[in-house]
Amino acid sequence: MKGNHAQFRARGEFMALTSSSRLAGTFAVLASLLLAGCAGGTSGGDPGAGSLPSGKSCKDVRAELDKLDARGVPSRIEAAGAGKKLPPGQKEEVDRYNALLAQYLGARCHL
């Protein structure tokens, strides 16, 4: 009986080693995939800063965003995102705000 118990214990230890080895291997594969994704290269990744429309500066875009902020456009954006219908004039302001924000962030004015 003692011999059988020793064999079972040896199998249990082997199974534990195998499981931890698999876990370590899985972790290593995931870590290498993450590092490969962060390594950069020419495919994918950050396209770099975009340009603003001709004659516009980051200050100009920020000033227009501030005016729309003062008119309460961000709350209208939230309302539209929640599925509420907006009158045409407010929808135009929301669209304008989103376009300006895309320009501002795309040109990396926030950095």
Q: How confident is the model at residue 77 (pLDDT cuts 50, 70, 90)?
A: very high
Which residues span the domain enclosing 102?
58-106
* Tally of domains within the chain: 2
Are residues 24 and 62 both part of a single domain? Answer: no
More confident position, 28 or 63: 63
d(CA 86, CA 92): 9
> Does a structural domain hold residue 29?
yes
Nearest of 94, 99, 97 to residue 53 by alpha carbon: 99
More confident position, 94 or 54: 94
d(CA 1, CA 52): 81
> Does a structural domain hold residue 79?
yes
Q: What is the pTM of this model?
A: 0.57
pLDDT one-digit tens code per residue, 10-55: 555 555 545 555 555 555 555 565 555 555 555 566 677 788 888 8
Are residues 30 and 62 both part of a single domain? Answer: no
Cα distances (angstroms) measured from residue 10 to each of 1, 5, 13, 49, 105 = 14, 9, 5, 60, 60
> Does a structural domain hold residue 42?
no
Q: How long is the chain?
A: 111
